[in-house]
């Protein structure tokens, strides 16, 4: 099925959001003993969630 340019862009945004989530998971595995990292990861995860709500199909969200 051919996608419109908007659908292609939204798909690309979704892939980038997934990449950010993967990066956050890797950072979370390193956070022990670094309170500033833990606090900032909470904020970054919230920002990623907002991006998902704006750009990702709700059926694809966890």
pLDDT of residue 62: 54
**Domain locations in the chain as residue ranges:** 32-56
Please name the residues in contact with 48: beta carbons below 8 A apart, sequence gap of 6 or more. 17, 20, 21, 24
pLDDT tens for each residue of 5-53? 988 888 899 999 999 999 999 999 986 788 888 899 999 999 999 999 8
Is a pLDDT exceeding 60 seen at residue 1?
Answer: yes
CA angle, 32 as apex, 16 and 41 as ends, to 5°? 30
In this prediction, residue 55 has a pLDDT band, given cuts at 50, 70 and 90, of confident
């Amino acid at each position: 099925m051919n996608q419109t340019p908007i659908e292609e862009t939204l798909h690309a945004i979704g892939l980038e959001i997934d990449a950010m989530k993967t990066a956050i998971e890797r950072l979370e595995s390193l956070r022990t003993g670094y309170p500033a990292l833990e606090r900032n990861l909470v904020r970054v995860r919230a920002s990623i969630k907002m991006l998902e709500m704006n750009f990702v199909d709700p059926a694809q969200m966890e």
